[in-house]
Amino acid sequence: MGFILDLVETLRTPAGMVGAVVVIAAVYALVKWIFAPHPDDEPK
């Protein structure tokens, strides 16, 4: 529980907000990359 409270306190700082945006963007890019259709999977 203390970890979550520390995380929330960190997110209130400008650097924490920037870090949150970077993490969200990285997760979004990873999910988009994982679920993207692969060219070799195209039916011939």
Lookup result for tokens 């259709």: 37
- For the chain, the structural domain boundaries read 2-39
What whole-number distance in Å separates Cα of residue 32 and Cα of residue 42? 18
Contacts of 10 (CB under 8 A, 6+ apart): 16, 19
The alpha-helical segments, DSSP class H, found in 1-44 are 2-11, 14-35
User: What does the pLDDT look like over 1-44, one tens digit per residue?
Assistant: 799 899 889 989 999 999 999 999 999 999 999 999 887 877 66
What whole-number distance in Å separates Cα of residue 13 and Cα of residue 36? 34
Q: Looking at the whole model, is its pTM more than 0.85?
A: no
